[in-house]
A and B are shown apart, each in its own frame.
Chain A
């Protein structure tokens, strides 16, 4: 039962000596043994005796470096890679007395995907319906938290990779402001968009985890030197007078009507709690997905150039010629989606196409950022659905990359603008799948997000629902 509790409940119990970290680890272990063969949130089963029992455990996505512990981005090309260093967030967790769970969480290869189907370890299943995807790319993180196989977890979000799986699995997922959490040790997908963030059972755990992992890091030149407030101070439940914008471009034809209805109800709930809700416009939203697929793939093609088998990871055996070795190693080591994105990104940067694709995308990115600046000059936050539909079936979109890309339509702009956003559970469909409410705020206004999210969460019961497994 201990594994079903939140981190703040367990920390309190540990404080009062009502339980031990040993008991918590044992409870988690047996839960994983029980359900993970069906959910497959973790990349492999932990070896007995490997479990570190020095503190409250946290589970980590497979793209965050953990010293001496396999970190493979769920890619064949990084098979067996044991980083000789800890990511900054891991260092911070360890010094806060949190224990790193010794088995990493499943994800789409290099975070390329929205379903956790593109993993060299096979897909993760949604705990609410095992035939559905958990979302992605942090699908393992979301599913593990939802299935009580993890107390809390870290994921990463480049275009919605924390928020969309959090929505699909009915948990709380926060993408912090770009620069709020150090990226040092996060295996880069798109360096100008990536952020590490928490996936938790409730908003308080999210705030607690942000207190630990946020802050300036001299090892990350893009990390902001801005003081970190105590985020739990924002959890008071009062949102009277909070100015909330609802972007009209997000509620369009083709959106799943049930999702729309559930999100509308959530917005009404905010109103009833005293928020001042008004429509706003983000006119360049329509360009977010194409801009993202240029910028993210261009950066990815560069970041993934290093995987060539010279120093670590897979090397195709028996090839004498270097160029041939690179081509075959990469041809075999990368999955289909990785290849597609590397090719697209290389194309967008290649001679003769740079201006038409990459440079144009950077300019439209400015327009998208300007849209948000304008809204946030008058509003405290924006609310929107996290995803246009609930979790889809495994295999449903895997043949059509473009339709998969469109499932990130509501999350991508946030990364392009560098702003923070949370997804929290706001209802269940008739078929029993969770829906997520997204709350966005201006850069470094995570407190505003926590304030709104906590007030909403405490006035509903959605975060207490558990999938039947």
Chain B
């Protein structure tokens, strides 16, 4: 299946990935080839088949509502690229 430039740009934006012009061209071609290959699935007979989202037949996995210790703030924030007091500092949302 051919995949349009608009689609790639749309998907790149949805997944918040900046692509250079060169990357965009290269990836377009590669994805088109992969999607061609994937199109093979159209031959599979899936008439009355139900989808498998979870491979093990598990259900009702629940836990009791009982508190456990949280991480101390200093540990929670230890990996933060930027922090202020006990907050994560992140770039501003500009719509």
Say if the two chains contact directly (CB < 8 Å): yes
Give A residues with C-beta under 8 Å from B.
80-82, 84, 178-179, 192, 218, 221-222, 224, 284, 286-287, 289-291, 293-294, 301, 305, 308-315, 319-328, 330-332, 334, 336, 339-340, 342-344, 346-347, 350, 357, 359-367, 369, 401-402, 405, 416-418, 443
Contacts of B44 in A (CB 8 A): 284, 287, 360, 363-364, 367
21 contacts between A and B (CB under 8 A): A81-B79, A179-B58, A221-B58, A224-B58, A291-B41, A310-B88, A315-B81, A322-B93, A331-B20, A339-B17, A339-B23, A342-B17, A343-B8, A343-B15, A344-B35, A350-B11, A364-B41, A364-B49, A365-B52, A405-B34, A416-B55
Q: A290-B37, A327-B18 are in contact. Are A343 and B52 (CB under 8 A)?
A: no
Produce 1/0 per residue, B39-71, CB < 8 A to A. 111101110011111111010010100000001
Report which of A284, A293, A339, A363 forms a contact with B34, defined as CB distance below 8 A.
Answer: A293
A-B contact count (CB 8 A): 168
Say if the beta carbon of B75 comes within 8 Å of chain A.
yes
Report which of A80, A290, A291 forms a contact with B79, defined as CB distance below 8 A.
Answer: A80
Say if the beta carbon of B2 comes within 8 Å of chain A.
no
Of B14, B17, B37, which is in contact with the most chain A CB atoms at under 10 Å from its CB?
Answer: B17
Given contacts A290-B37, A312-B81, A346-B11, 4 further A-B contacts (CB under 8 A): A84-B78, A179-B58, A192-B53, A323-B93
Contact B91 A320 (CB under 8 A): yes
Report which of B13, B35, B51 forms a contact with A366, defined as CB distance below 8 A.
Answer: B51
Report which of A293, A325, A346, A418 forms a contact with B55, defined as CB distance below 8 A.
Answer: A418
Give B residues with C-beta under 8 Å from A.
3, 7-8, 10-20, 23, 27, 30-31, 33-35, 37-42, 44-46, 49-56, 58, 61, 63, 71, 75-76, 78-82, 88, 90-94
Contact B81 A360 (CB under 8 A): no
Shortest beta-carbon distance from A337 to chain B in Å: 10
Contact A362 B52 (CB under 8 A): yes
Contacts of B37 in A (CB 8 A): 289-290, 402
Contact A340 B27 (CB under 8 A): yes
> Complex Cα distance A363/B49, Å?
6
Shortest beta-carbon distance from A360 to chain B in Å: 6
Contact A367 B27 (CB under 8 A): no
Contact A321 B92 (CB under 8 A): yes
Contacts of A331 in B (CB 8 A): 17-20
Contacts of A311 in B (CB 8 A): 79-80, 88
> Complex Cα distance A366/B3, Å?
28
Contact B81 A361 (CB under 8 A): no
Shortest beta-carbon distance from B72 to chain A in Å: 9
> Complex Cα distance A343/B92, Å?
25
Report which of B11, B50, B63 forms a contact with A343, defined as CB distance below 8 A.
Answer: B11
The 4 closest A-B pairs by CB, nearest first: A331-B18, A362-B51, A418-B55, A312-B79
Contact A322 B94 (CB under 8 A): yes
Contact B34 A367 (CB under 8 A): no
> Complex Cα distance A321/B39, Å?
39
> Complex Cα distance A364/B76, Å?
41
Contact B56 A308 (CB under 8 A): no
Shortest beta-carbon distance from A369 to chain B in Å: 6
Contact B18 A328 (CB under 8 A): yes
Contacts of A359 in B (CB 8 A): 51
Q: A81-B79, A84-B76, A311-B88 are in contact. Are A363 and B31 (CB under 8 A)?
A: no
Contact B7 A347 (CB under 8 A): yes
Contact B94 A309 (CB under 8 A): no
Contacts of B52 in A (CB 8 A): 362-363, 365-366, 369
Contact A367 B46 (CB under 8 A): yes
Contact A360 B15 (CB under 8 A): no
Shortest beta-carbon distance from B45 to chain A in Å: 8
> Complex Cα distance A280/B22, Å?
47
> Complex Cα distance A222/B8, Å?
34
Report which of B15, B54, B93 forms a contact with A305, defined as CB distance below 8 A.
Answer: B15
Contacts of A325 in B (CB 8 A): 90-91
Contact A84 B46 (CB under 8 A): no
Contact B91 A321 (CB under 8 A): yes
> Complex Cα distance A429/B53, Å?
40
Closest to A418 in B: B55
Contact A417 B55 (CB under 8 A): yes
Shortest beta-carbon distance from B6 to chain A in Å: 12
Shortest beta-carbon distance from A106 to chain B in Å: 22
Contacts of A286 in B (CB 8 A): 40
Shortest beta-carbon distance from A78 to chain B in Å: 9
Contact B92 A322 (CB under 8 A): yes
> Complex Cα distance A127/B87, Å?
47
Contacts of B91 in A (CB 8 A): 319-322, 324-325
> Complex Cα distance A82/B76, Å?
11
Contacts of A402 in B (CB 8 A): 30, 33-34, 37
Report which of B15, B41, B55, B76 forms a contact with A301, defined as CB distance below 8 A.
Answer: B15
> Complex Cα distance A2/B37, Å?
48
> Complex Cα distance A163/B12, Å?
32
Contact A363 B51 (CB under 8 A): yes
> Complex Cα distance A360/B87, Å?
43
